[in-house]
Amino acid sequence: MSLGEAVCTVSDALKGPAALPEEIQDMADFEASPRENEVAVAYNDTCLARSSGCFSCVERCEPEAIELIQGTGIRINQQICTGCGICQYVCPVTPKAVRMQVRTATQTPSAYHAESQQRGE
C-alpha cells in the first residue's frame, strides 16, 4: 500500500461508520404486525433450544404460539400464530430456525380444529 492509499484509508476510517446496508436498515425498522397470509414454521435443525437455553422467539411471541421442547427445538401452534414475524426477526442463528412462509389451506385455524377433533383433543 502506498503512503497515499494509507492516508485515504485512515481518512475514511475517521469519517465514522459507513451507512448500514439497506437490508439491515430495513430490519432495524421491523414492526411486528399481523399478516394473515403468513405463518411461522420451525426448522429445528439449527434451533439452539436443541442443546442450550435459547428463548428468544418464545419470549417475543405475544399470543404464546411457540412451545419450547428441550432437546428438540420449538413447536408452533399455527392456529394461534398471527404471522407477525418477530420470531424470525429475533432468532439468532443462520439459517433461521423459525421462518415465515405463506400460510396454506392446511395451516388455517379451521384446518387445525379439524385435525384436533380427529385426534380427539
> Which residues of this chain interact with ligand SF4, rule CB under 6 A?
40, 47-49, 54, 56-57, 60-61, 63, 65-66, 73-74, 76, 81-87, 90-91, 93, 97-98
Q: Kindly state the DSSP code that residue 26 receives in the 8-state scheme.
A: H
Closest approach of Cβ 51 to ligand SF4, in Å? 10
Left (φ > 0), alpha (ψ -120 to 50) or beta: where does 119 sit? alpha
- Grid cell digits, residue 31: 414492526
Minimum gap (Å) between residue 65 Cβ and ligand SF4: 4
State the nearest-atom distance from the C-beta of 89 to ligand SF4, in Å: 9
Is residue 44 within 8 Å of residue 74, measured between CB atoms? yes
In the complex with ligand SF4, the residue whose CB is nearer, 73 or 107, is 73
